[in-house]
Structure 1
Amino acid sequence: METRRRTLVKAIAWNLLGFVVMTLVGMAMTGSATIGGTIAIINTMIGLSCYFIHERIWAHIRWGRVHG
């Protein structure tokens, strides 16, 4: 099983990458760094929460695990 701390660190690392990508996409779509950054912040907050919950649920599901 994965610790909550590991899940949180993975979620943060993934969302930092997503934040950068979303900022660039938002800037490209709107032409505004402020709007692009705002979109990225909102997306990152929602994504981080959803990813953390998703990982914690899957940490308790035994299906598909190989123990060796």
Structure 2
Amino acid sequence: METRARTLVKAVVWNAIGLAVMSLVGLAMTGSAAVGGAMAVINTTIGLSCYFVYERIWSRINWGRLYG
């Protein structure tokens, strides 16, 4: 079972990568750094929240784990 701190760090790092990618995609698609950045921040906020909850749910499921 993972600690909440580990789950949070994993989620933040993953979302930082996603924020950078989404910012570039938003800039490329809209031609505006402000609009692309806003899209990226909104997407990252939603994604981070969903990912954290998803990881916490899976941390309670024993299926597929190997012990020993």
Between the two proteins, the alignment pairs up a number of residues equal to 68
Shift in Å, 1:27: 0.2
Counterpart of 2:12 in structure 1 is: 12
What are the within-5 Å matches in structure 2 for residues 1-68 of structure 1? Answer: 1-68=1-68
Shift in Å, 1:25: 0.2
Counterpart-to-counterpart distance in 1, 2:64 and 2:52: 20
Counterpart-to-counterpart distance in 2, 1:66 and 1:50: 26
Shift in Å, 1:5: 0.3
Moved over 6 A (4+): none
Shift in Å, 1:10: 0.3
* Runs of at least 5 residues in structure 2 that lack an aligned partner in the other structure: none
Shift in Å, 1:21: 0.1
Shift in Å, 1:40: 0.2
